[in-house]
A and B are shown apart, each in its own frame.
Chain A
Amino acid sequence: MKSSLALRTWAILWKDLLIELRTKQSFSAMVFFAALVLFLFGFAIGPDTATLSRLGGGLLWIAIAFTGMLSLGRTFQSEEVAGGLDGLRMYPGEIRAIYLGKLLANFSMLVVLEVVLVPVASVLLQLEPWGRFPLFVGITLLGTFGFSVIGTFYASLTQHLRARELMLPLLLFPALVPVFLGAVNGTTLALAGDPLDRIGGWIRLLISFDIIFFVVCVWIYPLVLEE
């Protein structure tokens, strides 16, 4: 039964992705919402391209964070129909697989969103991510993973609360400050060039945050789902 954790994780991940693939319920809405946020930035900041591209890293991450927030809320709500979560919980094996599966599903959804969003943002905000593309991709993946680790955890914790739509961002955004700072500054340096070589510090911060909270969240997750 050693592989049961990986198998169950894979089963939950595949189930969520399959639902999304067949219904395309939230993905298209997410893409349009993210693009809409970018347009709002344009209206708020003005059409000056130099300003927009200077702020590009931050704007991109606010768009990702807001859109990701909306999709996190849906992660566990989809299990409320016909006692889906109770069903998942009653399967034999490690309960952490529910968290891991949902985490990977959220992460994959956000990565696919970014694949669409980054070209759109690079056109609208005049960003040039192609120059140091591997670095840009690496930072984006690390930031997205950190977001998904805490986000999935708190989405599960707030699922049964009243006013959960309000509670999730209230808990999540303060906890995500290190991810946000690391991702925004890393992205900005990857976009605009890094003459003082400061990007390494931000990458280390993101890696440490991801590892620490991945371990903590996986470790204490069974306490969240206890009945």
Chain B
Amino acid sequence: MTITDLPQPNPGRARLLGTATLLVVAAGSAAGLFLVPADALQGEVQRLLYVHVPAAWLAMLSFFVVFVMSVLYLIQRDPKWDLLAVSAAEIGIVFTALALVLGSLWGKPTWGVWWTWDPRLTTTAIMLMIYVGYLVVRSFADDPEKRARWSAIIGIIGFVDVPIVYLSVLWWRTLHQPPSSPRSMAGEFVYVLLLNVAAFTLLYVYLMLRRYRLAVAERHVEELRLTRDDGRIT
């Protein structure tokens, strides 16, 4: 399989999706900032929830996509699955870090500390390290086929590991905050939260299209460099 027949997203449609994403994200942010009243107990800082929860959702979604793409790559050996997996991993890392930072910003005024060994918080940090390892392995592997194969294996092991890490940290720290669920929140808050989740999900699809395009371009460059160096002592 040559790199030149990798499927490419339609740029016009991607731009359209980008515009739609921008509008929905703006609407979600406006609703979260101005439309709903601040939380009676936590005050204004509770508004962070409208970005923190969608960011955490995207982190989970991304790593699930990494897992699926890794399995598909190992079955079909089509480079497009590998490029989609690395795109999802990078986006996942960005949103995992964002969720951690936002959680920390919320934790300082609410819990009084920047960091606490809460199971979800700790698991998120470990998850970040697992997928940073995934990306670093890629940067240290020179052969594109081996890089794809090895990182797909790490993507699968990591995905199997994360729930076990969560359970183990949960047993270690039996005191934890119950997660926000629609039942623990009043109606209007839920709608704003769902709007933001939808906005972030659109953003995810848009970022995936962009990052995948870039990954294809990177592979082209790499391929050109490899063929140029063929038969030459480097």
Task: Please give the residue numbers on chain A whose beta carbons come within 8 Å of chain B beta carbons, in ascending order.
Answer: 150, 153, 157-158, 160-164, 167, 170-171, 173-175, 177-178, 181-182, 185, 201-202, 205, 208-209, 212-213, 216-217, 220, 223-224, 226
A209 near B149 with CB under 8 A, answer no
B171 near A171 with CB under 8 A, answer no
Interface size on B, residues (CB 8 A): 29
Q: Among B149, B152, B153, B164, point to the contact of A178 (Cβ < 8 A).
A: B164
Which residues between 13 and 66 of chain B lie within 8 Å of chain A, taking CB atoms? none
A220 near B156 with CB under 8 A, answer yes
B133 near A216 with CB under 8 A, answer no
A158 near B164 with CB under 8 A, answer no
B167 near A205 with CB under 8 A, answer yes
Q: A157-B154, A220-B153, A220-B156 are in contact. Are A181 and B146 (CB under 8 A)?
A: no
A174 near B74 with CB under 8 A, answer no
Complex Cα gap A153–B160 (Å): 15
Complex Cα gap A9–B210 (Å): 47
Q: A157-B154, A216-B160, A220-B153 are in contact. Are A171 and B172 (CB under 8 A)?
A: no
A212 near B164 with CB under 8 A, answer yes
B146 near A160 with CB under 8 A, answer yes
By DSSP majority rule, is chain B's interface helix, strand, loop, or mixed?
helix
Give the number of A-B contacts (CB < 8 Å). 82
- 7 smallest CB-CB distances across A and B, nearest first, come from A178-B168, A174-B129, A171-B133, A161-B140, A162-B140, A181-B168, A174-B130
Complex Cα gap A226–B73 (Å): 14
B168 near A205 with CB under 8 A, answer yes
Distance (Å) between the CB of B203 and the closest chain A CB? 27
Task: Please tell me if B6 contacts chain A, counting CB pairs below 8 Å.
Answer: no
A178 near B136 with CB under 8 A, answer no
A178 near B167 with CB under 8 A, answer yes
Kindly name the residue among A181, A182, A213, A216 whose own CB sees the greatest number of chain B CB atoms within 10 A: A181
Residue of A nearest to B154 (CB): A171
Across-interface contacts of A202 in B (CB, < 8 A): 171
A161 near B137 with CB under 8 A, answer yes
B133 near A161 with CB under 8 A, answer no
A212 near B160 with CB under 8 A, answer yes
Across-interface contacts of A177 in B (CB, < 8 A): 126, 161, 165, 168-169
Can you list 16 A-B pairs with a CB-CB distance of less than 8 A? A161-B150, A163-B140, A170-B132, A171-B137, A173-B129, A174-B133, A175-B158, A177-B168, A177-B169, A178-B165, A178-B167, A185-B172, A205-B167, A208-B164, A223-B74, A224-B150
A175 near B149 with CB under 8 A, answer no
Distance (Å) between the CB of A70 and the closest chain B CB? 19
Complex Cα gap A185–B133 (Å): 26
Complex Cα gap A16–B126 (Å): 34
Q: A174-B129, A223-B74 are in contact. Are A181 and B169 (CB under 8 A)?
A: yes
Q: Mark B164-192, 1 if CB is under 8 A from A, else 0.
A: 11011101100000000000000000000
Task: Please tell me if B157 contacts chain A, counting CB pairs below 8 Å.
Answer: yes
